[in-house]
Structure 1
Amino acid sequence: MNLSILDELQPIAEELQRRMSPHVLEHLAKEKGFVQRKSKYQAKELVALCVWLSQQVASTSLTQLCSYLEASTGVLIIPEGLNQRFNASAVQFLEQVLANLLTQRIYSAKEIIHQYSTTFKHIRVLDSTTFQLPDTFSSHYQGSGGSSHTAGVKIQLEYDLLSGKFLHVYVGEGRENDKAFGSTTLQTIRSKDLYIRDLGYFDLHDLQGIHDKGAYHISRLKLNSRTYRKNEKPDYFQNGTVKKGTL
């Protein structure tokens, strides 16, 4: 079933209304530098444009977006002014809004997995999602080449199920390799951590590194992988040398 953008944004819109007041949005916006001085166009107006008023905000003209904003909120801003507000601070603010919503959802389900907190210090889940962009973005975000598109974005997200905290959030090119990113996150391995990843991150060197640190991992095995169990009572030659075939 193909969901429309409106259908995809609906759960986010509902969570925003339920959990984040205009005051909370304004506080986050100030933290990220999106709001630096008092003006008509504030955090709630940016969220309104990107979630409620225009489901095609990336392709809708600035003039149309200004019209939507004025008609719905009474805030009047010229197209050039709006263009300047779509900046790096706006991106960081929206990223933080989404992160906060996801964190609250994870915390709400924390009691389901609380039983594992005595066994593991962290349960680290890492996964990625990739989506295509218009070809004009290929100079910044090269895609994997699927469906004749040259531009794409990949988002990597790792979070801890026990604490509900995000450990890594990364946005990169669609062609980037999951396994390469997975290796970079292992610099923070801690004893009794549990790593859960799919086959896209499978790397025997990484798994050995997790094991050596006293941590644990769950992963499917590639079809060409072989597993062995160490024999605690191998056979020996008369000179005391172990028979390798019996290990």
Structure 2
Amino acid sequence: MSVSVSDELQLFAQEIQSFLSPNTLRDLARDVGFVQRTSKYQAKDLIALCVWVSQNVAMTSLTQLSSCLEASTEVLISPESLNQRFNKAAVQFLQHLLAKLLNQKLTSPMPISYPYTSVFKRIRILDSTAFQLPDIFSSIYPGAGGCSHTAGVKIQLEYDLLSGQFLHIHTGGIASISEKNHAKSLQDFIRFLG
């Protein structure tokens, strides 16, 4: 049985609501500078727009996004005002939101075999994924070179299996992130760079 996109989004909505109250969202948005004063356009509206309302925010016109937002949340905002709110603080807010959800979801106790906990202080898992972007994004997300596209984004995550904590979450250009830059302490480590 296949799960539809709307069903997946509904499950994601339930996760956000069960872990993060509207007050928590507001506080997180203030902490990263996305919300600086009381406004009709709030952090929850950005989430609604980017997660539930539009299947493809990057390819939908601002006019259509404004209309969708008004239809679904009753928040009326001009396309230009909406454009101004798609900024670095909005990206940071969404990154922090994802990190917070992942931390809360995965910090539940996970049974780890006792012999490992007595030998190792940490079991660090570092992984990343990368994909190409249109060349217009090369100044923000530089690619690694050697391919037909000059732009690419990499998402990297480092997780400590024993503590259940995320140690590092980063997004950036492919050329700007390296797995070799992490775990530089005197810890023993096994690394797969394939």
AA in 2 matched with 1:168: H
2:119 and 2:10 map into 1 onto residues whose CA distance is 37
1:146 and 1:51 map into 2 onto residues whose CA distance is 33
TM-score, with structure 1 as normaliser = 0.68
Contact 2:179 2:193 in 1 (8 A): no
2:146 and 2:4 map into 1 onto residues whose CA distance is 21
Number of aligned residue pairs: give it: 191
Match for residue 155 of structure 2?
A: 155
The structural deviation recorded for 1:182 is: 2.6
The structural deviation recorded for 1:124 is: 0.7
Q: What whole-Å deviation, never above 9, does each CA across 1:62-109 have from its counterpart, x for those lacking one?
A: 11111011001111111111111111111111101100111122212x
- Give the 5 Å matches for 1:192-231: 195=189, 197-200=191-194
Matched, 1:22 2:31: no
Match for residue 87 of structure 1?
A: 87
| Secondary structure of 1:75's aligned partner | coil
| Secondary structure of 1:186's aligned partner | coil
Contact 1:128 1:156 in 2 (8 A): yes
1:100 and 1:140 map into 2 onto residues whose CA distance is 25
TM-aligned CA distance change 1:74 to 1:60, over 3 Å: same
2:8 and 2:191 map into 1 onto residues whose CA distance is 25
**Structure 2: runs of 5 or more not aligned:** none
Match for residue 120 of structure 1?
A: 120
| Secondary structure of 1:172's aligned partner | strand
Runs of 4+ in 1 over 6 A off after TM superposition: 3-8
Match for residue 111 of structure 1?
A: 110
The structural deviation recorded for 1:9 is: 5.5
TM-score, with structure 2 as normaliser = 0.84
AA in 1 matched with 2:191: R
Match for residue 180 of structure 2?
A: 183
1:196 and 1:49 map into 2 onto residues whose CA distance is 41
Q: What whole-Å deviation, never above 9, does each CA across 1:107-135 have from its counterpart, x for those lacking one?
A: 12x33227343332111100111122222
1:158 and 1:8 map into 2 onto residues whose CA distance is 25
Q: What whole-Å deviation, never above 9, does each CA across 1:155-184 have from its counterpart, x for those lacking one?
A: 12112122222222222223567xxx2332
| Secondary structure of 2:141's aligned partner | coil
1:114 and 1:94 map into 2 onto residues whose CA distance is 35
TM-aligned CA distance change 1:143 to 1:20, over 3 Å: same
| Secondary structure of 1:199's aligned partner | coil
1:4 and 1:59 map into 2 onto residues whose CA distance is 21
2:113 and 2:34 map into 1 onto residues whose CA distance is 37
**Structure 1: runs of 5 or more not aligned:** 201-247
1:96 and 1:15 map into 2 onto residues whose CA distance is 15
Contact 1:32 1:92 in 2 (8 A): yes
2:143 and 2:98 map into 1 onto residues whose CA distance is 24
- Give the 5 Å matches for 1:56-67: 56-67=56-67
Matched, 1:170 2:164: no
AA in 2 matched with 1:197: R
Q: What whole-Å deviation, never above 9, does each CA across 1:40-76 have from its counterpart, x for those lacking one?
A: 1011001111110012011111111110110011111
Question: Comparing both chains, which one has the higher relative contact order based on Cα–Cα distances under 8 Å and sequence gaps of 6 or more?
Answer: 2
1:20 and 1:163 map into 2 onto residues whose CA distance is 22
User: Which shifted more, 138-147 or 79-88?
Assistant: 138-147
**Same amino acid, percent of matched pairs:** 60
